[in-house]
Amino acid sequence: MSEPIIALERVSKQVQDSTGTLTILDEIGLTVAARESVAIVGASGSGKSTLLSIIAGLDVPTTGSVRLCGSDLFALDEDARAALRGKHLGFVFQSFQLLGNRTALENVMLPLELMGHRDARTQASEMLYRVGLGERLSHYPKVLSGGEQQRVALARAFVVQPSVLLADEPTGSLDFATGATILELMFDLNRERGTTLMLVTHDDALASRCERQLRIDAGRIGPSAVLHAIDHLKTAPLAP
């Protein structure tokens, strides 16, 4: 059996605030196979985005280990983690994260240029045509609609042919119809490219599009989240 492309073992994240120690993630364990699509579902503040950031190596866990594409992520220094991200990961965010002073084409070219691709312009152009923006190559983000900006973000994510796509509420800033179109495009590209998809959402309908759904609650995932909820009910004061 092949090694999981993502593997988390007892990953926890704590931060200090004015009241003491706040636990954001509590001993998360999960594995994701290559080409699998997995949705992490939970309410706002449940730890979904923190979990995605740790899988990407953008945030560091307090305890536990993460293996990504065969590498022990936090045994690497920051530069090596950045290199691993550049080689294997694509990102799609709710807020698009485009550079306002660069055109659509230049935004999509950027990750290719950072990787030293000599034909970055050609590859980026082809990817923008694939997402339906062939007539918008020279447009800046400020003159693009939200749906068009998210198409640019998708093109930028997929142009590097990532092993893993991490999507954090990818339709959260879009109206229903535009969001549905973007979702179809994202899943189509994901199937075409054979990418592993890890999607964070609070939307059960969106999560159902993935092969597997995991629910996170109060920093716990899977059966532990259910047990945590039961424990909370047992210890909660009775209503008068």
The pLDDT tens digits for 85-104 are 988 999 888 888 899 999 99
CA–CA gap between residue 13 and residue 47 (Å, rounded) = 9
Relative to beta strand 6-17, strand 63-68 is antiparallel
Asked if 1 and 54 count as a contact pair (C-beta separation under 8 A), the reply is no
- By the 8 A CB rule, do 217 and 26 touch? no
pLDDT band at 137 (very low <50, low <70, confident <90, very high): very high
In this prediction, residue 202 carries a pLDDT of: 85
pTM: 0.83
Alpha helices (runs of H) in 115-145, residue ranges in sequence order: 120-130
CA distance 36 to 212: 8
CB within 8 A of 221, min separation 6: which ones?
28, 29, 30, 40, 51, 214, 215
For the segment 150-164, the average pLDDT, to the nearest whole number, is 91
* 194 pLDDT more than 70: yes
Q: How far apart are CA 29 and CA 27, in angstroms?
A: 6
pLDDT bracket for residue 222 (50, 70, 90): low
pLDDT tens profile 101-118: 999 999 999 999 988 888
Arithmetic mean of pLDDT, 186-202: 89
Closest to 6 measured CA to CA, from 148, 195, 229, 236 = 195
Residue 72 neighbours by CB under 8 Å, 6+ apart: 65, 66
Q: Mean pLDDT over all residues of the chain?
A: 87
DSSP count for the chain of H helices, then E strands = 8, 10
Q: Classify the C-alpha dihedral 46-221-199-90 as positive or negative.
A: positive
Q: What is the pLDDT of residue 231?
A: 41
- For the segment 146-173, the average pLDDT, to the nearest whole number, is 90
Whether residue 225 has pLDDT greater than 50: no
Residue 45 — very low, low, confident or very high, per pLDDT cuts 50/70/90? Answer: confident
pLDDT of residue 238: 44
Residue 60 has pLDDT above 50, yes or no: yes
Provide the 10 A C-beta neighbour count for residue 32.
Answer: 21
Side-chain-facing half-sphere of 63: CA atoms under 13 Å: 10
**Mean pLDDT, to the nearest integer, of 35-40?**
93
- Residue 192 pLDDT grade (very low, low, confident, very high; cuts 50, 70, 90): confident
Q: Hey, what's the torsion of the CAs at 108, 58, 66, 154, to 10 degrees?
A: -20
Q: How many CB atoms lie within 10 A of CB 76?
A: 15
Mean pLDDT, residues 2-16: 93
pLDDT above 60: residue 232: no
* Cα angle: 76, vertex 80, 27; to 5 degrees: 40
Give CA–CA dist 93/217, Å, rounded: 21
For the cut 90, the answer to whether the pLDDT of residue 197 exceeds it is yes
Whether pLDDT at 228 is above 60: no
